[in-house]
Amino acid sequence: MQRIPTGIPGFDELIEGGLPEGRSFLVSGSTGTGKTILTMQFVFEGIRKYKEPGIYVTLDERPNLLREDMLRFGWDLRKAENENQLQIIDGSVARIGMPSDEEFSISAGFDLDRLLVEVMRNARRIGAKRIVLDSIPALGFNYENENEVRKAILKISYMLERTGVTALLVTEVPEGSGQYSKYGVEEYVVDGIIVLHYASVGAQGNRTIHVRKMRATKHSEALHPLSITAKGIMVSKQERAYEEV
Ligand SMILES: Nc1ncnc2c1ncn2[C@@H]1O[C@H](COP(=O)(O)OP(=O)(O)OP(=O)(O)O)[C@@H](O)[C@H]1O
Ligand SMILES: [Mg+2]
């Protein structure tokens, strides 16, 4: 089996060097836990370190704000886009029914099939190896019943599998809920789940990352400290972090 390194410092060694290639994984966590930063880092480091083009589908954040925020970490998304290494697909405006001035956007009413067609088309065009969908709950906006959600998620993972890309699907769950996915169905469709936590310990916020499941991988089962630095996310080994305290 081929593995693709995420490029996130400290994380790949927790999962035998990288994610099993061509599979889909869930990145789950409550608001502000770093899901967007972590998944963009996966795509951006894919381009920068491994020469693997990537697609970022943003349904939560508008592309321009995303570009601005990520520049804080020194990630020049615009440049990568101009070099056809990155494609941001804007689904954010479609949800609220507004037109987008992005080159690739889903407008005029949201439609999962159209979004997937757009993703596939762009994946072929730039030769994408990595894809992020941020986020599933943002897609589920119109879905009331669990069966619909299950079908939609199955469809997404089936389409992604056909393209052979490695995908991170972002989902949101309330901290401390003990759930890994919004609808309780996403986790059965994916090949692994990465959970981000934010806990307040005394006056200090405390971020951790946990590999909850990773098929075909002997992964760490511990909660590892995660920090957001000027260069993005870094994961430290639990043992070392405790020594440092
Ligand atoms: N430049 C930075 N340096 C340090 N920490 C930052 C920086 N930018 C953002 N953060 C931290 O990261 C958090 C946001 O991360 P991110 O947007 O990835 O979270 P998220 O899980 O995607 O949240 P949401 O549920 O709102 O989409 C901020 O609340 C802040 O705590
Ligand atoms: Mg986010």
Give the pLDDT confidence score for residue 216 in this predicted structure: 93
The tokens 């789950």 sit on which residue?
28
> How does residue 243 score in pLDDT terms, banded at 50, 70 and 90?
very low
Start-to-end Cα distance in the chain: 38
For ligand 1, atom 7, the nearest C-alpha belongs to 228
How far, in Å, from the CA of 181 to the mean position of ligand 1? Answer: 19
Give yes or no for residue 38 having a pLDDT over 90.
yes
Side-chain-facing half-sphere of 78: CA atoms under 13 Å: 8
Q: Which atom of ligand 1 is nearest to the CA of 39?
A: 18
pLDDT tens digits, one per residue of 41-56: 999 999 999 999 999 9
pTM over 0.85: yes
Q: Average pLDDT of the chain?
A: 88
Ligand 1 pocket, CB under 6 A: 29, 31-37, 60, 72, 172, 228
Give the pLDDT confidence score for residue 109 in this predicted structure: 52
pLDDT tens digits, one per residue of 4-30: 999 999 999 999 999 999 999 999 999
Percent of the chain whose pLDDT exceeds 90? 63
Pick the more confident residue, 212 or 98: 212
For ligand 1, atom 16, the nearest C-alpha belongs to 34
Give yes or no for residue 115 having a pLDDT over 90.
no
The tokens 């592309």 sit on which residue?
63
The amino acid at residue 139 is L
> How does residue 95 score in pLDDT terms, banded at 50, 70 and 90?
low
Degrees to nearest 5, angle at CA 164 with 162 and 31: 100
The one-character DSSP state at 141 is G
**Cα–chain center distance at 105:** 19
Among 28, 33, 132, name the best residue to mutate to test ligand 1's pocket (greatest count of ligand atoms within 8 A of Cβ): 33
Q: Which atom of ligand 1 is nearest to the CA of 72?
A: 1
Six token digits for residue 91: 């689904």
For ligand 1, atom 25, the nearest C-alpha belongs to 31
pLDDT tens digits, one per residue of 154-202: 889 899 988 899 999 999 988 888 888 887 778 888 999 999 999 877 7
Determine which of 86-90, 107-111, 234-238 has the lowest per-residue pLDDT on average.
107-111
Answer yes or no: CATH 3.20.20.10 is held by domain 3-244.
Answer: no
Give the pLDDT confidence score for residue 79 in this predicted structure: 98
> How does residue 242 score in pLDDT terms, banded at 50, 70 and 90?
very low
The tokens 């169905």 sit on which residue?
185
